Structure 1
Amino acid sequence: MAKSQRAAARHILVKTEKQALDLKRRLGQGQDFGVLAKRFSTCPSKKSGGDLGEFGRGDMVKAFDDVVFKQLTNEVHGPVKTKFGFHLIETIYRD
Structure 2
Amino acid sequence: GKELPVSDNQIDFVFSYLTFRHLPSKAILEEYVQEIVRVLKIGGVVKVQLRTGPEVYRWRWFHGVSFFAEEARQLFEQKGLKVLKIEEEDAKSLWVIVKKM
Using the size of structure 2 for normalisation, the TM-score is 0.27
More relative contact order, 1 or 2 (CA 8 Å, 6+ apart)? 1
Higher CA-based Rg: 2
More helix per residue: 1
Using the size of structure 1 for normalisation, the TM-score is 0.28
